[in-house]
Amino acid sequence: MPPARPPLPREVRIIGGQWKRTKLAVLDKPGLRPTLDRVRETLFNWLGQDLTGWRCLDAFAGTGALGFEAASRGAAEVVLLDSDPELVRRLKDVQARLKADTVRVETADALRWMRSAAPARFDLVLLDPPFSAQVFEAARQAAVRLVRPEGWLYLEADAAPDPARFEPLGLTLYRHARAGAVHFSLLQVRATG
């Protein structure tokens, strides 16, 4: 018998910026695993608290916690992608409630969207796909081309990162940590030339 899935929190909160303490509901959906507050706090400590002017993509948005966190900290553009219509409706509700005009929510298959988007467009791409979806490698490869040189790629996975797999993609592992079963990493795209 597989181990029982730990219960999901009913809500997560934005931890910094203009919408600090805003609560985001967490729906009980297969594969939905919201990024924990302490993980987001660590990530934004690594990045710096002020993302003014940044362009960000939250490719598997779910609750939108990562993307709304970036917008709350001043990002000029945040694209939230999710393929689940109910999650997209929730994301749009939050966007409207916060009057988040720098946030755009799209119903999309994240892999397909990333493969067709213009390259080197984002300062930060946030990747937190469902662990059970088996799309991690494909998502990472699709995301790398969207990050501008010296930009950032954030990854959440169920296994420790292998830096040798990042080199061929032009990525350098900047930081890595673990929270329970979740490994999270921040990688930088090497400058070209």
Give pLDDT tens digits for 68-90.
999 999 999 999 999 999 999 99
| Residues 149 and 185: beta-carbon distance below 8 Å | no
CB 160 within 8 Å of CB 176:
yes
Looking at per-residue confidence, does 65 or 192 come out higher? Answer: 65
How many residues in total does the chain contain? Answer: 193
pTM for the full predicted model: 0.92
Q: How far apart are CA 62 and CA 26, in angstroms?
A: 8
Q: In angstroms, rounded to a whole number, what is the distance separating the alpha carbons of residues 124 and 55? A: 7
If we measure between CA atoms, which residue out of 136, 141, 150, 142 comes closest to residue 188?
150
Residue 2 has pLDDT above 80, yes or no: no
Each residue of 62-75: b (16+ CB within 10 Å) or e? bbbbbbbbbbbbeb
According to the model, what pLDDT value does residue 192 have? 74
The pLDDT value given to residue 8? 56
According to the model, what pLDDT value does residue 114 have? 97
Q: Which domains does the chain have, with CATH numbers?
A: 11-189 (3.40.50.150)
Residue (of 21, 26, 19) closest to 63 by Cα position: 26
Q: What is the CA radius of gyration of the chain?
A: 15
pLDDT, tens digit, for every residue of 120-154? 999 999 999 988 778 988 999 999 999 999 999 99
* Residue whose C-alpha is closest to residue 83's, from 124, 139, 40: 139
What integer pLDDT is reported at residue 191 of this predicted model? 86
Of residues 126 and 191, the one with the higher pLDDT is: 126
